[in-house]
Amino acid sequence: MFWTRLASGVVLLAVAVGALGCGGVLLALILWAVSLAGFRELTKALKCAAGEMKINVLEIIGFAGITAYYLLMYFTEGHTYLLMCIVATFLAVLFAYVMTFPRYDAARVMAAVFAFFYCPVLLSFVYQTRMAPQGVYTVWMILISSWGCDTCAYAVGKLIGRKKIFPVLSPKKSLEGCIGGVLGAGLIGWLYGFFFVEKAVERGGLAWIIAVICGLGAIMSMVGDLAASAVKRNNDIKDYGKLIPGHGGIMDRFDSMIVTAPMTYFLTVFFLLTAV
């Protein structure tokens, strides 16, 4: 299991680095595919899917909304069209709810909307961060805040972790590990900012801003991880899927990145880009 997980992790990291480095259509296509898979996993976990090999109208609307959203994101500029797509998808779900009543109850309908917004919309901020000004440098903070935090938290928790702060939701998480994850992500962010970003843009003082952004992003990455775990526990499932050997499903591996991406985008817009 360890070697399977390690091999899958290396492949995922290589794909992520390649996609983030290239940006453009390659990154958009990969995020679109990941979003479709993540949406499907969530609808199954939240029990609003038709079944293992079936698909219902709520999922069809979700898949169509995701595809439209990513097409608009790639071919248009500005957020107005994306907001229109989100609202249109929500209205389409309401229309299906009314026209098929009482096939779907309110809980399943709201779960479908939640699944559409949770993974596809939030994950799209990876692309929006990459394609923003200086995005070729700032997008890496998403990986530092999520996967960097995970690695540091795991290492510190294994070494000195004692105090369990989420015994029901995540028994293995410790206070020491959480603190180590935040500080570790901040340190990696500072090193990245000092040795790469400041040299590339020829401006000093950016390393500390990047360290703060990565530290705050690390906090949100742990929230994302715990939120995904809470959904699993509420619905009595171990993993979201089996797509990634040794890791589970898309939501099992990208749970932290999903919420770190918008956090990084907003903090970058407000703090970093104004300083460059």
Cα separation values, 184 from 46, 149, 150, 210, 245, Å: 34, 6, 9, 13, 27
d(CA 253, CA 257): 8
**pLDDT tens for each residue of 44-102:** 999 998 777 789 999 999 999 999 999 999 999 878 999 999 999 999 999 999 999 99
Lowest mean pLDDT among 49-53, 141-145, 205-209, 222-226: 49-53
181: Cβ–Cβ under 8 A, 6 or more apart, which residues? 149, 150, 152, 153, 156, 218, 221, 222
Q: Tokens 């903070």 appear where?
A: 141
Most distant CA atoms of the chain, gap in Å: 62
Q: Given this model, what pLDDT does residue 274 score?
A: 57
Q: Please count the other Cβ atoms lying within 10 Å of the Cβ belonging to residue 74.
A: 16
Q: For 153-172, what is the mean pLDDT?
A: 88
Q: Please count the other Cβ atoms lying within 10 Å of the Cβ belonging to residue 150.
A: 22
Q: The pTM is what?
A: 0.93
CB of 40 closer than 8 Å to CB of 13: no
Average pLDDT, the chain: 90
Q: Which helix (H) or strand (E) holds 197?
A: none
